[in-house]
Amino acid sequence: MKNKEDDEHERKGMTRRGFLTTVGAGAMGIAITDRLAGKPAAAAEVTEPGEMARVVLTINGRKHHQLVEPRWSLLFVLREQLGLTGTKAGCERGECGACTVLINNVPRYACMTLAVEADGQEITTLEGLMHGEELGPVQKAFREKDAFQCGYCTPGQIMAVEGLLRQKPSPTADDVRHGVSGNLCRCGTYANIFRAGLRAAELKRGK
């Protein structure tokens, strides 16, 4: 049964049904050609339970050679395998931002990133912002502006601001708000977090 859209396209020389039929026939033709040419069909890759993969994770400038299961998240490996607990486990489904780290200077949720995806990438965690026992500029700004209450979301907020400032050293207030928009604060300390972001930019510029 044709609808008005089919009638309109038919007048132009092609119906939606005809288009889909053509595409389907083309795909079938390719499959038959490959079969006749002796090309094997692509087999789905299956990972056996417990199978381990070798990865090299460059974290805070140090290389870590690890055996990981392909299903393990970067968050799991950071906390449970390497003891880098500055990265917090929150919702573990990409909604709260507590686990934010930098991958090649871009903020990413560690809970939504597989460890094997991070193989060979430059990873920065909260610990990597410190200079020995001294806090980094963004951490100092959060302390100065009292930008936390319970503190659980703070590591992710700091990493989001750090990522923003690496891309935009002189952000506007709107830039800061946008930069931390993927990080939730249950305590509602957003006003101070925004102030801390602007203050962190000043500290990084040496003011």
For the segment 48-61, what is each residue's pLDDT rounded down to a tens digit? 666 899 999 999 99
Average pLDDT over residues 132-143: 97
- Domain membership of residue 206 (yes or no) is yes
Q: Is residue 169 part of a domain?
A: yes
- Residue 137 and residue 185 in one domain: yes
Q: Of 78, 76, 75, 52, which is closest to residue 64 (Cα–Cα)?
A: 78
Domain presence at residue 35: no
Give me the mean pLDDT over the 65-70 stretch.
96
Note whether 147 and 174 are same-domain residues.
yes
Tell me which of 92, 125, 158 is where a domain ends.
125
Residue 109, domain member (yes or no) = yes
Q: Is the pLDDT of residue 181 over 90?
A: yes
Asked whether residue 14 is domain-assigned, the answer is no
Asked if residue 155 and residue 114 are part of one domain, the reply reads no
Q: Please indicate, yes or no, whether residues 104 and 175 belong to a single structural domain of this protein.
A: no
Is residue 79 in a domain? yes
Q: Are residues 89 and 159 in the same domain?
A: no
How many domains in the chain? 2
Confidence of residue 93 (pLDDT cuts 50, 70, 90): very high
What is the distance, to the nearest Å, from the Cα of residue 100 to the centroid of all Cα atoms in its chain? Answer: 8
What is the reported pTM? 0.76
Is residue 28 in some structural domain?
A: no
Domain end position, chosen among 75, 97, 125: 125
Full domain range(s) for residue 108? 48-125
Q: Position of tokens 């305590």?
A: 187
Q: Is residue 32 part of a domain?
A: no
Query: What is the enclosing helix (H) or strand (E) of 124?
Result: strand 122-124
Residue with tokens 């805070």: 60
